[in-house]
Every structure is written in structure tokens, then in C-alpha cells.
């Protein structure tokens, strides 16, 4: 099971480093196999917006894009991703960037067109094996922002190896409960949202809770269509 440290700390946040949390959980029986950043090391990748997309004059499967990387100028980047469209915001590796595998980005000429950078997929950043297209970011992603900061890719992810007798820890809240006990700190409660839903039909089902000491709440909903 993989748990982001920030999620764990949203319930309990002892004054321990990531390594100390991993060590103490392991010593308590919750073996932490790894405590690593969410993404492998890379530099020079920022949030950019594709302003225009044109077909490459000398290659059917390539596009010539005008890209705004937040530095006040448009740069031409040749891209082979099938999902590239004008208006999307994506990770952009600028010249001088180093991607996982120590791959350095340099200005290159691709089939006769100068390309000053690379638009990236999730796999090229080491985030997943998905190489089907560019990693699409939200429309509110700030132009020019370091992608590691924007996506919190330096956050520690704990990988836990849980045994069958630790079923109560097979959730973030369960692990947080154990961490709170180890640290002697209070555990933040789970937010309970039970906002009433305005009925749109008149059907009602009578509910008779005969064991209120065993059933603190019973909810039901009629769904049609």
C-alpha cells in the first residue's frame, strides 16, 4: 500500500522526519518497504500552454506547436503526441532540462524544423508507464511553474507491506491511528458529510431499526432511471 506523507499528516503530524516515521512504523510492525519521492529526479520542467498546433510540413505524425512557457515568449516545439491540442497545459522540458535516465534536452532540428524543448508524457517524467499522449494539466496550472512544485512530486510516498493480521491498517486513516498511538498525539477525526439530498420522487420506505445499539445510522435512497 502506498501512502502520501501529506495525507498521513493531515490526521496526525508528529515532529519526526519522513525517515523517522518510516522507522517507527516498521518497528511497530507496519513494515515500510520504501520512503521515496513521488517522482524520480529531473529538472527544468515547467507548466506550459500550447498556443497553436500545425501539421509538420515534412512528417505526417509530427506537429509543430507554439508554446508559452511563462517567460513572455513563444517557442516552437515539435511534438509527436496524438492528443496535443491548442489551449492545453502540459509539462514542458526546456533546453538544459534533465529527465529521468539523465536524458538532457537540447534544441534540435526535427525533419527541418527547429524544436526548442519537449512536451512531456507521464512516462517521460517517470510518473507512470502511460505513454499514450501528453500529460494534461488543469487549466488553472500556473504558467512557468516548476512542475515538481505544482504536482508536489518531491513529497515522500511510503510503501507499506502489510500482513493479513493488520487489516485495520489497510487505509490511510488506519495507519494514521497507529502513528498517533506511537507519537502519543490525538488523531484528527474524519470529516462526516451527510448533507440531505432534496427528494425528487415521493416514494418512501419505512425503516424500523430494532437494534439501535448495533446500528447507529441507517440510510437509504430510491433511485429510478
CATH number of the domain to which 92 belongs: 2.40.50.140
Same domain flag for 54 and 12: no
Q: What is the pLDDT along the chain (225 residues), one digit of tens a residue?
A: 999 999 999 999 999 999 999 999 999 999 999 999 999 999 999 999 999 999 999 998 999 999 999 998 999 999 999 999 999 999 999 999 999 999 999 999 999 999 999 999 999 999 999 889 999 999 999 999 999 999 999 999 999 999 999 999 999 999 999 999 999 999 998 876 566 666 666 667 778 889 989 988 888 777 776
Report the alpha-carbon distance of residue 67 to residue 189 in Å, rounded: 45
In a domain, 189, yes or no: no
CATH number of the domain to which 19 belongs: 3.30.56.10
Same domain flag for 29 and 93: no
Same domain flag for 73 and 97: yes
Please give the pLDDT value at position 194. 62
In a domain, 195, yes or no: no
Please give the pLDDT value at position 192. 65
Please give the pLDDT value at position 74. 96
SS3 assignment for the chain: CEEEHHHHHCCCCCCCCHHHHHHHHHHCCCEEEEEEECCCCCEEEEEEEEEEEEECCCCCCCEEEEEECCCCCEEEEEECCCCCCCCCEEEEEEEEEEECCCEECCCEEECCEEECCEECCCHHHCCCCCCCCCCCECCCCCCCCEHHHHCCCCCEEEEEECCHHHHHHCCHHHHHHHHHHHHCCCCCCCCCCCCCCCCCCCCCCCCCCCCCCCCCCCCCCCCCC
Same domain flag for 83 and 138: yes
Same domain flag for 142 and 105: yes
**Closest alpha carbon to 161 in 5, 29, 4, 8:** 29
Same domain flag for 33 and 101: no
Same domain flag for 70 and 47: yes
Please give the pLDDT value at position 24. 96
Range of the domain at 61: 43-146
Report the alpha-carbon distance of residue 70 to residue 93 in Å, rounded: 13
Give me the number of domains the chain comprises. 2
Same domain flag for 65 and 142: yes
Note the pTM of the prediction, 2 decimals: 0.73
In a domain, 70, yes or no: yes
Please give the pLDDT value at position 191. 73
Please give the pLDDT value at position 200. 66
Amino acid at each position: 500500500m502506498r501512502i502520501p506523507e501529506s495525507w498521513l499528516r493531515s490526521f496526525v503530524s508528529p515532529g519526526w522526519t519522513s525517515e523517522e516515521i518510516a522507522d517507527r512504523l516498521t518497528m511497530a510492525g507496519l513494515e515500510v518497504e520504501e520512503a521515496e519521492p513521488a517522482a524520480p529526479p529531473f529538472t527544468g520542467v515547467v507548466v506550459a500552454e500550447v498556443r497553436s498546433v500545425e501539421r509538420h510540413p515534412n512528417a505526417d505524425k509530427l506537429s509543430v506547436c507554439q508554446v508559452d512557457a511563462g517567460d513572455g515568449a513563444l517557442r516552437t516545439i515539435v511534438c509527436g503526441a496524438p492528443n496535443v491540442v491548442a489551449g492545453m497545459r502540459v509539462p514542458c522540458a526546456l533546453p538544459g532540462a534533465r529527465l529521468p535516465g539523465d536524458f538532457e534536452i537540447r534544441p534540435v532540428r526535427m525533419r527541418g524544423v527547429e524544436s526548442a524543448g519537449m512536451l512531456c508524457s507521464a512516462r517521460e517524467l517517470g510518473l507512470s508507464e502511460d505513454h499514450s499522449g501528453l500529460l494534461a494539466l488543469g487549466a488553472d496550472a500556473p504558467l512557468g511553474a516548476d512542475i515538481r512544485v505544482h504536482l508536489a512530486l518531491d513529497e515522500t510516498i511510503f510503501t507499506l507491506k502489510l500482513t493479513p493480521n493488520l487489516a485495520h491498517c489497510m487505509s490511510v486513516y488506519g495507519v494514521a491511528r497507529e502513528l498517533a498511538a506511537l507519537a502519543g498525539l490525538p488523531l484528527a477525526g474524519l470529516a462526516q458529510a451527510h448533507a440531505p439530498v432534496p427528494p425528487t420522487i415521493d416514494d418512501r420506505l419505512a425503516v424500523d431499526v430494532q437494534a439501535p445499539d448495533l446500528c447507529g445510522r441507517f440510510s437509504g435512497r430510491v433511485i429510478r432511471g
